[in-house]
Amino acid sequence: MTPLYNVYVQDTVMILRIDLQSSIPVYRQIVDGLRILLVNGEMKAGDQLPPVRRLALDLGVHFNTVAEAYRTLEREGWLEIGRRSGARVVSRAVPEYADPETGETFQRRLRELAAEMQARGFPRDRIARELRCLAESLERS
């Protein structure tokens, strides 16, 4: 079972799933987990993220791991990082159109994920069901 970590943002508890045994680097898991919260609107412009050292201590990882995750999200335009003020969510305009390379990357990553799950014994029908559920959720939003 993947460990769940509570992340406190502006007095709100949010769940961040981190698996220290995963082959996916922890900083990448932090980036992906926070990006989900950002895209879903669970974190809004002006929200203050936990200080790097506090989140690192909570997750049991080196502070540079969390700092790298925050810097990655800053490069993507999600965060503003100040020396004394820490990491704060900023308003980010989503591009109207993705370039062709982004579409190709999306398709490749979906196929890789599906193949990885099948290799771990996850049933094909369950993968298809989860993808349909995700598609329906995206169409509703």
Residue 79: CATH number of its domain: 1.10.10.10
Coil vs helix vs strand at 47? coil
Taking residue 79's Cβ as centre, other Cβ atoms within 10 Å add up to 23
pLDDT at position 108 over 60: yes
Check residues 42 and 12 and name the one with the higher pLDDT. 42
Could you tell me if residue 73 is inside a domain?
Answer: yes
Q: Are residues 31 and 63 in the same domain?
A: yes
Q: What is the pLDDT of residue 138?
A: 85
Could you tell me if residue 76 is inside a domain?
Answer: yes
pLDDT at position 113 over 80: yes
Could you tell me if residue 44 is inside a domain?
Answer: yes
Q: Are residues 22 and 46 in the same domain?
A: yes
Range(s) of the domain holding residue 29: 4-89
Q: Are residues 113 and 59 in the same domain?
A: no
Quick: pLDDT tens for 43-78.
Answer: 889 999 989 998 898 888 999 999 999 999 999 999
Could you tell me if residue 94 is inside a domain?
Answer: no
Could you tell me if residue 95 is inside a domain?
Answer: no
Per-residue burial over 31-57, b if 16 or more Cβ lie within 10 Å, else e, is: bebbbebbeeeebeeebebbebeebbe
Please tell me the total count of domains within the chain: 2
pLDDT at position 116 over 80: yes
Average pLDDT, the chain: 88
Q: Are residues 44 and 20 in the same domain?
A: yes
Q: What is the pLDDT of residue 10?
A: 61
Q: Are residues 77 and 50 in the same domain?
A: yes
* pTM reported for the whole predicted model: 0.77
Q: What's the start-to-end Cα distance of the chain, in Å?
A: 29
φ, ψ dihedrals at 95, nearest 5°: -60, 145
Which pLDDT band holds residue 12 (cuts at 50, 70, 90)?
low
